[in-house]
């Protein structure tokens, strides 16, 4: 279907998800009894039965809407500009930068205003306002229908990937085919006509080229998966640790849910700074159009991830020391240490987010076929999603393994962060990110050399790492 229809449907999923959440938050029969989870974690009742099903359904609709929107909106905007006109090509690049900036602004406003509404006026009102905002966005997007450049769909990008899988499966059975059968197949193709044979040959060649390209890019995808895993845990745990610290700015207290506004603000400010300042500066030294190549961007983000994990371990060691000095290791009370100790690691994680995540998208766009370029944002989201699932399994693995020491208590056991050993866990994440970086550097350099020797690809314009 055309991108505008897909975008409208995804906005609709957004709205339905928020409406279901608002309904569940408003009706007492659809959610457990209210409780102070930070003060009485053992007395809070979990959602069960129909309430839990409705919650998962609303989150599923929200996830589908967000995931598809991330892929459709940039493509719909890109269709409004012609690649044949240099001016429109420049405008297209500017538009994509403004899209990222607008996403950050919207997230920042939600984290400040909507969180305040939910904390002070109720979750039901907060979700309902979110649904109304999505509905307004749908009407605004629909108002441009008479003016949009709409391109008819030219097949699915997934068709090529399925052809690769089918071709790979058939190649395993080639050895069982008799030579006489191959001759008969060749004779039949000759009888069918030269044009038909050429068409089949061309199609087979394209599938083989796509198979080769995906095979060469696969180690990069797996390496990025390992890079993203520590990032997911670092960002999540840093926000949770911040909720136990002093969140005051004078007389103003920052809500725990708004702490993610700090890296979001950094991400928002880095977009124009990178484009207007850093890119021209790097371009003078590297000669690359974008300052550095996509593979170098991913590597730079991973370096920031290693630094962020090491810094997180140092700050957590300091926080645990303060908690012990004030006798807070068994009470679970807030630690008298400013949350702004976390600003630098938030800044490093924001750089990693902007560099590594955007770098993978640009890598896919620059190295894949025109059909595959359309799924670049979706492919990046899939890699990040798998990394998030692996992060959950990694926490369980580390927690089970660490129970063999410290009196049978795991590093991450319990809801009291003053009794956990997050300092050790952050050091483990630093080691994991370093190993992931070394692994990535090997495969990135190998990929760059392969592309240089074959004279294809855009990353071969400058050496990696």
d(CA 188, CA 401) in angstroms, rounded, equals 62
244 within some domain: yes
d(CA 36, CA 401) in angstroms, rounded, equals 31
d(CA 26, CA 124) in angstroms, rounded, equals 5
Q: What is the pLDDT of residues 145-192, one digit of tens each?
A: 788 777 666 655 566 566 655 665 665 555 444 444 444 444 444 444
228 within some domain: yes
- Report helix, strand or coil for 246: strand
d(CA 438, CA 435) in angstroms, rounded, equals 5
- Give the count of beta carbons closer than 10 Å to the beta carbon of residue 249: 11
Domain boundary among 93, 122, 147: 147
Instruction: Kindly tell me if the per-residue pLDDT of 329 is higher than 80.
Output: no
230 within some domain: yes
- Region 347-351: mean pLDDT is 88
Residue 243 near residue 119 (C-beta atoms within 8 A)? no
Domain boundary among 132, 147, 162: 147
Q: What pLDDT score does 164 carry?
A: 58
Residue 309: pLDDT band by 50, 70, 90 thresholds? very high
192 within some domain: no
Q: What pLDDT score does 314 carry?
A: 94
Q: 338 forms bridges with which residues in the sheet?
A: 246
Domain boundary among 147, 164, 199: 147
198 within some domain: no
Instruction: Kindly tell me if the per-residue pLDDT of 424 is higher than 70.
Output: yes
359 within some domain: yes
Instruction: Kindly tell me if the per-residue pLDDT of 51 is higher than 70.
Output: yes
Q: 335 forms bridges with which residues in the sheet?
A: 245
Domains in the chain, number: 2
Q: What pLDDT score does 179 carry?
A: 42
Domain that residue 223 falls in: 210-450
Residues 113, 227 share a domain: no
Q: 248 forms bridges with which residues in the sheet?
A: 253
Residue 300 near residue 286 (C-beta atoms within 8 A)? no
| CATH number for position 379 | 1.20.1250.20
Of 463 and 107, the structure prediction assigns the larger pLDDT to 107
d(CA 462, CA 452) in angstroms, rounded, equals 9
Phi, psi at 245, each rounded to 5°: -105, 175
Of 163 and 223, the structure prediction assigns the larger pLDDT to 223
- H or E stretch at 105: helix 86-109
Of 435 and 141, the structure prediction assigns the larger pLDDT to 435
Residue 312: pLDDT band by 50, 70, 90 thresholds? very high
Residues 93, 224 share a domain: no
Residues 326, 241 share a domain: yes
Residues 220, 143 share a domain: no
Residue 311: pLDDT band by 50, 70, 90 thresholds? very high
Residues 241, 121 share a domain: no
- The closest alpha carbon to 358, from 448, 464, 275, belongs to 275
Lowest mean pLDDT among 50-59, 82-91, 305-314: 82-91
Residues counted in the chain? 465
Q: What is the pLDDT of residues 234-249, one digit of tens each?
A: 988 888 888 888 888 7
Rg (CA), the chain: 26
d(CA 395, CA 345) in angstroms, rounded, equals 21
Residues 114, 8 share a domain: yes
426 within some domain: yes
Report the chain's mean pLDDT, rounded to a whole number: 76
Instruction: Kindly tell me if the per-residue pLDDT of 461 is higher than 90.
Output: no
Q: 245 forms bridges with which residues in the sheet?
A: 335
Residues 317, 419 share a domain: yes
- Region 436-462: mean pLDDT is 76
Residue 262 near residue 346 (C-beta atoms within 8 A)? yes
Residues 432, 303 share a domain: yes
Q: What pLDDT score does 270 carry?
A: 77
- Give the count of beta carbons closer than 10 Å to the beta carbon of residue 407: 5
d(CA 36, CA 44) in angstroms, rounded, equals 8
185 within some domain: no
Residue 388 near residue 78 (C-beta atoms within 8 A)? no
Q: Could you say which DSSP state residue 461 is in?
A: G
Residues 228, 141 share a domain: no
Residues 364, 236 share a domain: yes
Residues 219, 142 share a domain: no
- The closest alpha carbon to 68, from 153, 141, 3, belongs to 3
Pairing assessment for the beta strands 252-253 and 335-338 based on DSSP bridges: unpaired
Instruction: Kindly tell me if the per-residue pLDDT of 194 is higher than 70.
Output: no
């Amino acid at each position: 279907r055309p991108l505008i229809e897909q975008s409208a449907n995804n906005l609709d999923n957004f709205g339905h998800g928020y409406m279901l959440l608002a309904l569940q938050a408003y009706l007492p029969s659809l959610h457990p009894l209210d409780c102070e989870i930070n003060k009485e974690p053992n007395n809070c009742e979990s959602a069960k039965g129909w309430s839990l099903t409705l919650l998962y359904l609303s989150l599923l609709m929200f996830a589908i809407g967000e995931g598809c929107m991330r892929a459709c909106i940039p493509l719909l905007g890109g269709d409004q500009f012609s690649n044949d006109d240099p001016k429109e090509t420049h405008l297209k690049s500017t538009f994509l930068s403004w899209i990222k900036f607008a996403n950050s602004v919207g997230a920042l406003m939600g984290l400040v205003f909507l969180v305040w509404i939910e904390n002070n006026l109720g979750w039901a009102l907060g979700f309902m306002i979110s649904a109304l905002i999505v509905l307004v966005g749908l009407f605004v997007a629909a108002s441009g229908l008479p003016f949009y450049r709409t391109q008819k769909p030219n097949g699915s990008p997934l068709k090529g990937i399925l052809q690769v899988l089918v071709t790979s499966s058939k190649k395993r059975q080639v050895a069982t085919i008799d030579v006489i059968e191959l001759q008969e197949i060749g004779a039949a193709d000759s009888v069918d006509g030269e044009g038909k044979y050429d068409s089949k040959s061309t199609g087979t060649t394209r599938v083989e080229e796509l198979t080769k390209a995906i095979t060469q890019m696969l180690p990069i995808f797996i390496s990025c998966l390992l890079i993203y895993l520590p990032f997911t845990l670092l960002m999540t745990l840093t926000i949770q640790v911040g909720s136990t610290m002093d969140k005051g700015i004078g007389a103003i207290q920052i809500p725990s849910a708004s702490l993610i506004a700090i890296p979001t603000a950094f991400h928002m400010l880095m977009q124009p700074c990178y484009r207007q300042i850093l890119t021209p500066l790097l371009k003078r030294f590297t000669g690359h159009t974008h300052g550095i190549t996509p593979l170098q961007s991913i590597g730079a983000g991973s370096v920031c991830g290693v630094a962020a994990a090491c810094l997180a371990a140092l700050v957590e060691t300091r926080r645990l020391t303060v908690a012990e000095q004030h006798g807070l290791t068994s009470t679970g009370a807030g630690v008298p240490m400013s949350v702004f100790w976390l600003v630098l690691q938030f800044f490093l994680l924001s750089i990693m987010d902007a560099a590594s995540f955007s770098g993978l998208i640009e890598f896919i766009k620059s190295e894949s076929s025109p059909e595959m370029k359309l799924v670049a944002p979706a492919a990046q989201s899939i890699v990040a999603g798998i990394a998030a699932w692996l992060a959950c399994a990694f926490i369980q693995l580390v927690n089970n393994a660490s129970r063999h020491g410290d009196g049978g208590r795991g590093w991450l056991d319990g809801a009291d962060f003053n009794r956990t050993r997050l300092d050790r866990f952050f050091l483990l994440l630093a080691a994991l990110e370093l190993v992931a970086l070394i692994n990535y550097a090997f495969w990135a350099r190998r990929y760059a050399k392969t592309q240089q020797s074959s004279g294809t690809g855009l990353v071969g314009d400058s050496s990696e790492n």
